[in-house]
Amino acid sequence: MTKTILGLSGSLRRASFNAGLLRAATELVPKGARIEIGSIRDVPLYDGDLEKSSGLPPAVQLLQSHLQAADGVLLVTPEYNNGIPGVFKNAIDWMSRGPGLQMWAGKPVAVIGASPGGFGTIMAQNHWLPVLRTLKATVWAEGRLMVSRAGDLFDADGNLTDTASRDRLAEFMGGFANTL
Ligand code: FNR
């Protein structure tokens, strides 16, 4: 049976390197697995009063339904100030509310990312670890993918054009998908 991976990019930018990395992953994931791309765009800022009065926002409910159905999750994270971008953490925080906490528990999660700098989001990827541990997710740590110098590897629309990076991504996705 085909395995489904929920893929989330933590950038809202049109030509985002990380959204492009996620699109490339959908093309390079091995046979027997597919990536369902979820969007964090319509997730509001977390507000406990809003949650109390209206419950989970529709965008969060949609993401949770994808999470529930997924065999694994791929987080494609930018790095801001050596950490997780707020918009991405905000979306995952919302997704952990209500029935979401149970959905994360034991879910295999892989983290990758791209940045124009020389360290390819290594700090942001590390910052996800305590978050994922708190969610009781199962972090897939056999592979690592830090895409550095992204400006040289993506086209103007944020498509990953560099062959060596695509090969590394295919290898990463093969390793992750094989464990699902
Ligand atoms: C950045 N950027 C960045 N890059 C990095 O490698 N380490 C960092 O600490 C930071 N810090 C940082 C802070 C803020 C507020 C911004 C807006 C940006 C640069 C970042 O990697 C770059 O903007 C990427 O293009 C963001 O990813 P997307 O949008 O291309 O997916």
Q: Which domain holds residue 120?
A: 3-177
- The predicted structure's pLDDT at residue 128: 98
* Tokens 């879910």, located at residue: 107
With a cut of 50, list the residues of the chain below it in pLDDT: none
CATH of the domain at 159: 3.40.50.360
Contacts 24+ apart (CB under 8 A), 160-167: 160/20, 160/21, 160/23, 160/24, 166/24, 166/28
Q: State the total domains in the chain.
A: 1
CA 99, 105, 107, 112 dihedral sign is: positive
115 lines ligand 1 (CB under 6 A): yes
What was the pLDDT predicted at 1? Answer: 86
Cα 14 to ligand 1 centre (Å): 14
Residue to substitute in 81, 84, 115 for testing ligand 1 pocket (most ligand atoms within 8 angstroms of CB) = 115
User: Is residue 80 within 6 Å of ligand 1 at its C-beta?
Assistant: yes
| CA-13 nearest atom, ligand 1 | 29
Could you tell me the sign of the dihedral formed by the alpha carbons of 41, 149, 151, 5, in that order? negative
Whether the model clears a pTM of 0.95, i.e. scores above it, the answer is yes
